Structure 1
Amino acid sequence: MTNSDLLVSWRDAPATHQPEWPDRAALEDVVARLSAAPGLVTPSACDGLRSRLAAAATGEAFVLQGGDCAETFDGVTPEAVRNKIKTLLQMAVIFTYAAATPVVKIGRIAGQYAKPRSSPFETRGDVTLPVYRGDAVNGFAFDPLARVPDPARLWRMYEASRSTLDIMAGCARDGYAGLDQLHRWNRDFVASSPAGSHYEEVAYEIDHALRFMRACGVQLDMLRSADIFASHEGLLLDYEDALTRPDPDGISYATSGHMLWAGERTRALDGAHIGYLRSISNPVGVKLGPTTTPEEVRSYIDLLDPERQPGRLTFITRMGAREIRDRLPGLIRAAGSTGGTPLWICDPMHGNTYVERSGRKTRRLADILDEVRGFFEVHRALGTHPGGIHVEFTGEDVTECIGGGDEVLAADLHHRYESTCDPRLNRSQSLDLAFDIAELL
């Protein structure tokens, strides 16, 4: 089947979790504008990420993928984006020295503006409205007009993503990624964290490594930039299709982000989302929940990585702390039986979400870390490579997840619960997690 055939065939497949746009003419106008707009990322940059993911799949690198559960248009400010990038880079420094391998840094950013939802409607009291599907589709306010899907938001998504990528590029080149500065921030965290003494050994080892580099004549001010890639769930197919572009050889790429994935709710083997991922040459991922079967894993590899090329396909497991040790081994063995080399990343967030008595969704940091531990234990028992983690975090001091050295209690959730969808780790909790994972590495 040719690339052109694939582009035709996925459109004939069932597409779940798509908005019911009431104004089709307005949708067509926006899609036409997006089709004529410059791509947000280049095919060569997508290929660059694919080569780095190939290294991670074979144990020569570690992947850190993270950011907001769902980005918002109001959240696209220089300060907010920089804070997320700062947290991502701080975690990456910790992993780099703990694993003694390069860390591939991928933001869950510049495109994560839509979410599949478990129900198409939301009821409060005696009022029922369409559910909020992310800023790319409708508004968060519980208001009849705000909840109407508006195709104009797809263009706002494009502009917000472009602005975010511009801010990210500035962070990467303007000293924000400087090794000395990042480690200084981490040392400040260790000094101020109630659990700081627990992290002293790792922090000391990083100090020692930096001193060694200086003694060898390495000018650390030269290490002031970092490659940060952008990824998101490829959920809204009208948007993704409009931003799909051929390279000079006629090979199709999604230019909305460097890496796209299909979520747990959109990973049907015969569905449009998997079909669309087949049609592009970007690195792609599939979220695997606890109901995933070994047969499905083999089929994903056959469909999405028929040539068995490391770096093409990433499996992002989201099993939950209680399921990871039982469910994951069979999936890894199934992948191995195909001759493929998929990259395995642990998403310890989604399988550990629950609703507190206050009605707010939350997650316990202890459960998140336990799932990561289980992920490492399974891979090491099987002789395979735990390739990375995928986390939802923000650079702000929110109170959405429970636990951490600077502990957030269930009673604290209402103080700064700002997520429009799922709960995120705050900066302190993210660094707590990074130092704990460093011990596993």
Structure 2
Amino acid sequence: MRPHTDGLDTLAPVDGTDRAGAQPVAGFLPERRGVVAQQPDWPDVQAVALVEDQLTSMAPLTADHEIEALAGGLAMAAQGRALVFQGGDCAEQFVDARRDLVRRKIDHLQGLSAGMRASTQLPVVTIGRMAGQYGKPRSSPTEMSRSGELIASYRGDAVNSFEQDTAARVPDPTRLLTAYRCAATILDELRQSWSGRDPLERVYASHELLLMPYECPLVREGARGTYAGSTHFGWIGERTRGLDGAHLEFARSVINPVGIKLGPSATPDDAVAISRRLNPDGVAGRLTFIVRAGVGRVEDMLSPIVDAVAADGRPVVWICDPMHGNGYVHDGVKTRALTSIVDEITAFVRVMQAARQWPAGLHLEVTPDPVTECVARVEGAHTFTDYRSTCDPRLNAEQSAEVVSRFLALL
């Protein structure tokens, strides 16, 4: 089967030597033990099975010792001895798996983390939304094209094309193979950026643990246990964090540190149950709660959750995602306002400090490019002269630096 390349002629080969000891885990199918939400409607299930077989035979993209190094940094954050910065694209695109572009993104993340480190004199764990952020959950299976045609929703480059065409929106499982190859290229560049750096100063890879036909075949057995070989750190979104879901079961089954998005529907019971399920032994750094409530709801929602989790006693890394609860549409364009983003961060820090818990960091959608996707404030006219995101709006370099600075001032 020839993988879909979306115009990519060549991609770097995968060097599996560093991960040669990892073995596929036969029969690793947690989706059979839970509800599988937000999966594409693949038109050919046999084609999906063939792709899964191919992924199973490939080298894992990450190694368990890399995952352990990241977990050590997150453990420090859970104990209030480090900060966390997670950032990158809303949705990666295959055509951006170029070393020059990847290096610009890495440099941007390292620069923001360096500012946090200099301001606080604390280690900063840096995690990129990269090397696998090719799948997106959607609130509706269909959307309206610019021409007024009802087409299938774009679910990320690993599933279908952003091109607004009926045929291009049909889910294609061979795109999962292209996602793997692009992720391998990006991870190779990430590892090159690690040269001479302490493990706490590296940029690690992360993406949403969403597409089960991609995640399950890349699970491996290493020296340190069963791990997700697709990434260093994965998170589970607001739409897929159900206790009866396959995504939570997947995260429970691997040793990777994992993040859980907590949105407006989250309750104290939800958070405690997730903590007990994913971290029964109370290992510091194993679980990160990524709060994405929205500026008008964060304090009322978060205070009882933090109190309940603290009373339960298991350590958690708390970070704020001030982006996903504050989106709105202006003249048909999705955007976010810096005032709302900063106000949610302020409320998040206030809640954490009142509960005597550590506000460990931020989860932002950012780009080093001079895009005009987010605006200064909700009020007034907006001009989107350079909008490149295929999904949600990102902060540009100047805006992201301002947001991080405002967070640091609160500490």
Instruction: Normalising by structure 1, report the TM-score.
Output: 0.84
Give matches, 1:353-432, under 5 Å. 353-356=327-330, 358-403=331-376, 410-413=381-384, 415-432=385-402
The corresponding residue for 1:252 is: 226
The residue that corresponds to 1:242 in the other structure is 217
After superposition, the Cα gap between the structure-2 partners of 1:402 and 1:23, relative to the gap in structure 1 and judged at 3 Å, is same
Give the gaps of 5 or more residues in structure 2: 1-24
Shift in Å, 1:127: 1.9
- Counterparts in 2 of 1:158 and 1:433: CA distance versus 1, 3 Å: same
Residue 50 to residue 127, structure 1, CA distance change in 2 (3 Å): same
Say whether 1:345 aligns with 2:345: no
Matched position secondary structure for 2:312:
coil
Larger Rg: 1
Secondary structure at the aligned position of 2:359 is classed as coil
**2:34 alignment partner in structure 1:** 13
Call closer, same or farther: CA 1:325–1:308 in 2, change over 3 Å: same
Q: Distance in 2 between the 1:224 and 1:300 partners?
A: 28
Question: In 2, distance between residues paired with 1:34 and 1:371?
Answer: 40
Task: Give the number of aligned pairs.
Answer: 386
Q: 2:164 aligns with which of 142, 166, 181?
A: 142
5 Å matches for 1:100-179? 100-124=121-145, 126-173=148-195
Q: CA deviation at 1:169?
A: 2.4
Residue pairs, 1:22-421, within 5 angstroms? 22-124=43-145, 126-173=148-195, 226-248=201-223, 251-356=225-330, 358-403=331-376, 410-413=381-384, 415-421=385-391
Percent sequence identity over aligned pairs: 42
* Higher mean C-alpha displacement, 93-102 vs 415-424: 93-102
Letter in 1 for 2:244: D
Q: Shift of residue 9 of structure 1?
A: 5.2
**Larger helix fraction of residues:** 1
Q: 1:5 to 1:274 in 2, by over 3 A?
A: farther
CA-to-aligned-CA distance 1:305-339 (integer Å, 9 cap, x gap): 01111111110000111111221111111101211
Whether contact under 8 Å (1:87, 1:430) holds in the other structure is no
Q: Offset of 1:100 from its aligned partner?
A: 1.6
Q: Is the 8 A contact 2:28 2:217 kept in 1?
A: no
Give the 3-state SS of the residue equivalent to 1:419 in structure 2. coil
Alpha carbons of 1:397 and 1:8: their partners in 2 closer, same or farther (altered >3 Å)? Answer: closer
Contact 1:105 1:228 in 2 (8 A): yes
Contact 2:328 2:336 in 1 (8 A): yes
| Residues 370-419 of structure 1 deviation map (CA, whole Å, 9 limit, x = unaligned) | 11111111111111100111000011111100029xx9974321x11110
Paired letter, 1:379: M
SS in 2 for 1:348: coil
Gaps in structure 1 of 5+ consecutive residues: 178-222
Q: Relative to structure 2, which stretch is displaced further, 152-161 or 16-25?
A: 16-25
Q: Considering only aligned residues, what root-mean-square deviation do their CA atoms show, in Å?
A: 2.2
Deviation at 1:248, TM superposition (A): 3.2
1:128-170 deviation line (CA, Å, top 9, x unaligned): 1111100000000111111010011000000000111112223
Alpha-carbon distance in 2 for matches of 1:364, 1:259: 28
User: Are 1:402 and 1:409, in contact at CA under 8 Å, matched by a contact in 2?
Assistant: no
Q: Cα distance, 1:39 vs. partner? A: 0.7
Q: Residue 83 of structure 1 contacts residue 396 of structure 1 at CA under 8 Å; is this kept in 2?
A: no
Q: Counterpart of 1:241 in structure 2: which amino acid?
A: C
* Equivalent position of 2:410 in the other structure: 440
Q: 2:6 aligns to what?
A: none
Kept in 1: contact 2:289–2:318 (CA 8 A): yes
Aligned residue type for 2:118: Y
State how far apart, in whole Å, the 1-side matches of 2:405 and 2:165 are: 42
For 1:207, the equivalent position in structure 2 comes to none
Which has the larger displacement, 70-79 or 384-393? 70-79
Q: 2: CA distance between counterparts of 1:279 and 1:231?
A: 17
CA distance in 1, matches of 2:208, 2:353: 29
Which letter does structure 2 place at the counterpart of 1:253? Answer: Y
Normalised TM-score (structure 2): 0.90
Separation in structure 2 between the aligned mates of residue 343 and residue 375 of structure 1, nearest angstrom: 13
CA contact (8 A) 1:399 1:408 kept: no
Query: Which residue in the other structure is 1:204 paired with?
Result: none
Q: Is the 8 A contact 1:7 1:276 kept in 2?
A: no
Aligned partner of residue 105 in structure 1, secondary structure: strand
Q: Which amino acid aligns with 2:247?
A: H
Contact 1:80/1:395, CA 8 A, preserved across alignment: no
Runs (4+) of structure 1 exceeding 6 A deviation are none
Q: CA deviation at 1:85?
A: 1.3
- Return the alpha-carbon distance in structure 1 between the equivalents of residues 345 and 322 of structure 2: 6
- Return the alpha-carbon distance in structure 2 between the equivalents of residues 6 and 239 of structure 1: 14
- Give the match's secondary structure for 1:89: helix
1:7–1:279: 8 Å Cα contact kept in structure 2?
no
Distance (whole Å) between structure 1 residues aligned to residue 99 and residue 83 of structure 2: 28
Indicate the larger mover: 427-436 or 311-320.
427-436
Distance 1:426 1:384, change over 3 A: same
Give, in whole Å, the separation in 1 of the partners of 2:349 and 2:293.
13
Q: Letter of the 1:229 partner, please give it.
A: Y
* AA at the equivalent of 1:375: F
**Aligned-pair distance for 1:98?**
1.7
